[in-house]
């Protein structure tokens, strides 16, 4: 396993021995093996983990497991909670696509902020077969037939040369423990249906299916390189990057062969689908101002150019509050923060103000939307209560429940913002320093 992965990294020039790597870890068997391999190969790595809020207590258990895994390897640990369902509903996309878009944007944000060179995922050769078949089923261009690239910008996939059988052998050999996601077995998801029902049938025809698909994908990738050279030439003529936008001039594309395909390839980094590109091509002769959206970007036709800007997905993640911060902004709210000696503090009991024992908090704190499975110990009580039950008891209207935010200290809810403080973080006669945080709604001019 180690030799196979190390050889693949070198032959595909994925990274250097001194590279700093963020390992994307779910807690499943593949990502656990990725951690062990990076550790054994002596890479400088950290662990990033996403909690998509989709499996309640199981998701919390996954998050805790991966945190302990980071402690085992003595590496930094970064985690994030997302409102995946809300994002999927807003964008009219599947839960799986929503999770993918949210996690990769966040991974890149962490990579840049924390100074890492690459993001490593645990994709293996079986994933390539599944991906090619899935793309063929949905309809795809040339890029969809090369499977999963070994390297794509800052994302690397060191384990693409190994099979699922290799992975099972390795965890047995190393006696590794992982978390099993039961959703991997259900065939209600398209990828799982291909994995459990389609591939076994195809392997009856060709037992070496994975290797055949790998070789085909490799040939396609060479053909894609020829197309990419043509696209890159057009890109150099038409694309201009500014601080907050990308401008794509339409003039060099007027005589391009296969304009929809060319435009789709040029807009691929911004995640626009071929269906959206076809609609865009049909609107090129129309008036300016028409807008098109991808999960990550917005595109507007402006005379003879297209203006592309990134979309803000931060409201589906969380806002970090570092020790000493005096303000924070989240969704439609602004928070003012003060630190006061307890003997000088006069308790404020208004619902939009929280007075917390600063020494009981573990920074950095996070402000995020509540999720299924979240619980806290309401002020004045000793037992824990699910936030879902608390909001029902408070008779919070359904359309306002999703807007409820929480303040989180090391995965513990310290404040259901605007509703109730957690009893574990209240100010007592033993408190020495108070952190007072005041919530204010943003004004329309803010």
Phi-psi region of 90 (alpha: psi -120 to 50; beta: other; left: phi over 0): alpha
CA 337 to chain centroid: 29
- In the block, which residue shows the tokens 């040939």? 219
Q: Which of 140, 136, 124 is CA-nearest to residue 198?
A: 136
* Helix ranges restricted to H, 92-208: 95-114, 125-138, 164-174, 190-193, 199-205
Cα-based distances in Å from 54 to 99, 148, 229 = 10, 25, 41
Report yes or no: 176 and 1 within 8 Å, Cβ to Cβ.
no
Kindly compute the dihedral angle of the four CA atoms of residues 184, 94, 99, 131, in this order, to the nearest 10 degrees.
Answer: 60
Nearest to 28, CA basis, from 140, 164, 141: 164
CA distance 396 to 370: 13
Is residue 26 annotated as involved in ligand binding?
Answer: yes
- Find out whether 31 is annotated in a ligand binding site: yes
SS3 185: coil
The annotation status of 409 as a binding-site residue, yes or no, is no
56/48 Cα distance (integer angstroms): 19
Beta-bridge partners for 354: 437
Task: Write phi, then psi, for 433 (nearest 5 degrees).
Answer: -135, 135
79 forms beta bridges with 49
Find out whether 380 is annotated in a ligand binding site. Answer: no
Q: How far is CA 171 from CA 29, 30, 40, 182, 187, in A?
A: 8, 9, 13, 19, 25
Query: Burial of 190 by CB count in 10 Å (0-12 exposed, 13-18 middle, 19+ buried)?
Result: middle
Sign of the CA dihedral running 8, 14, 15, 16: positive
Cα–Cα distances (Å) from 104 to 21, 83, 115, 119, 272, in that order, read 15, 15, 16, 9, 16
Sheet holding 433-441, edge to edge: 327-330, 333-341, 433-441, 353-357
Binding site annotation covers 27?
Answer: yes
Give binding residues for ATP as ranges. 26-31
Give binding residues as ranges. 26-31
């Amino acid at each position: 396993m180690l030799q196979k992965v190390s050889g693949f990294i070198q032959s595909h020039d994925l990274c250097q021995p001194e590279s700093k790597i963020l390992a994307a870890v779910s807690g499943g068997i593949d990502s656990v093996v990725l951690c062990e391999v990076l550790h054994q190969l002596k890479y400088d790595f950290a662990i990033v983990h996403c909690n998509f809020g989709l499996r309640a207590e199981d998701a919390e258990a996954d998050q805790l497991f991966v945190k302990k895994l980071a402690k085992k390897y003595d590496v930094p640990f970064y985690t994030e909670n997302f409102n995946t369902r809300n994002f999927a509903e807003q964008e009219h996309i599947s839960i799986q696509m929503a999770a993918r878009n949210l996690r990769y944007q966040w991974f890149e944000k962490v990579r840049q902020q924390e100074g890492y060179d690459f993001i490593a995922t645990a994709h293996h050769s079986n994933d390539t077969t599944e991906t090619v078949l899935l793309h063929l089923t949905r309809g795809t261009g040339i890029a969809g037939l090369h499977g999963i690239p070994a390297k794509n910008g800052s994302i690397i996939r060191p384990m693409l040369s190994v099979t699922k059988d290799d992975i099972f052998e390795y965890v047995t050999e190393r006696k590794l423990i992982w978390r099993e996601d039961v959703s991997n077995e259900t065939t209600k998801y398209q990828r799982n249906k291909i994995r459990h029902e389609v591939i076994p049938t195809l392997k009856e025809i060709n037992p070496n299916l994975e290797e055949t698909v790998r070789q085909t994908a490799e040939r396609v990738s060479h053909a894609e390189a020829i197309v990419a050279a043509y696209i890159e030439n057009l890109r150099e003529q038409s694309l201009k990057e500014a601080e907050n936008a990308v401008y794509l001039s339409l003039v060099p594309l007027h005589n391009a062969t296969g304009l929809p395909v060319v435009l789709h390839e040029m807009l691929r980094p911004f995640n626009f689908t071929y269906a959206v590109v076809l609609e865009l091509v049909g609107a090129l002769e129309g008036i300016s101002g028409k807008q098109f959206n991808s999960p990550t970007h917005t595109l507007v036709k402006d005379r003879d150019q297209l203006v592309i800007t990134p979309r803000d997905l931060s409201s589906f993640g969380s806002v970090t509050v570092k020790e000493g911060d005096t303000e924070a902004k989240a969704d439609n709210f602004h928070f003012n923060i003060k630190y006061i000696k307890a003997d000088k503090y006069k308790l404020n009991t208004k619902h939009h103000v929280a007075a917390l024992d600063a020494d009981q908090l573990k920074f950095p704190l996070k402000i995020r939307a509540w999720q299924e499975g979240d619980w806290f110990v309401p002020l004045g009580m000793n037992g824990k209560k699910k936030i879902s039950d608390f909001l029902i008891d408070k008779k919070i209207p359904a359309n306002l429940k999703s807007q409820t935010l929480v303040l989180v200290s090391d995965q513990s809810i310290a404040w259901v913002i605007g509703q109730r403080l957690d009893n574990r973080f209240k100010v007592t006669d033993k408190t020495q320093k108070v952190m007072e945080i005041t919530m204010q709604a943003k004004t329309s001019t803010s």
